Amino acid sequence: MSDEPTAPYPLAQMRESVRGTLVERMGIELVEVTPERVVATMPVEGNTQPYGLLHGGASCALAETVGSVAASLQAPDRLAVGIEINASHHRATRAGLVTGTATPVHVGRSVAVFEVVVTDARDRRICTARLTCMLVDRV
């Protein structure tokens, strides 16, 4: 038996579970889900602020999405609930897809922390976020 975490459900089922949620409305698509990293894309179009730039809150929503999925993989028998997020926005982008990649910083019994790097279509870092999730028992 392996100590390595496993996904609670397949990628197709994870994609199906976001129907009707903010994730779907923002166009966030999971593209890679492994215990080592979770990757998703999001279109800039439709997620901008009034000046036509990607909204910082959209980057945070992408970061919380990939970080929460990553945390759920580390504790498949528990729920991962975001309790803190911070983000530094490094540069603006106006078009194309952005990609969020979550990797673990710390995974404990009740708390998991992930770094999320958001890059633009030219693979330039536009945002660095840190998400802390509490791992709680399912009711």
Tokens of 22: 């903010």
Asked whether the beta carbons of 42 and 97 are under 8 A apart, the reply is yes
The yes-or-no answer on residue 84 being catalytic is: no
What three-state secondary structure class fits 122?
Answer: coil
Tokens of 127: 């945002």
Asked whether the beta carbons of 95 and 44 are under 8 A apart, the reply is yes
Alpha carbon 90 to chain centroid distance?
18
d(CA 37, CA 119) in angstroms, rounded, equals 15
Catalytic residue among 4, 24, 64, 115: 64
> Which positions are annotated as active-site residues?
64
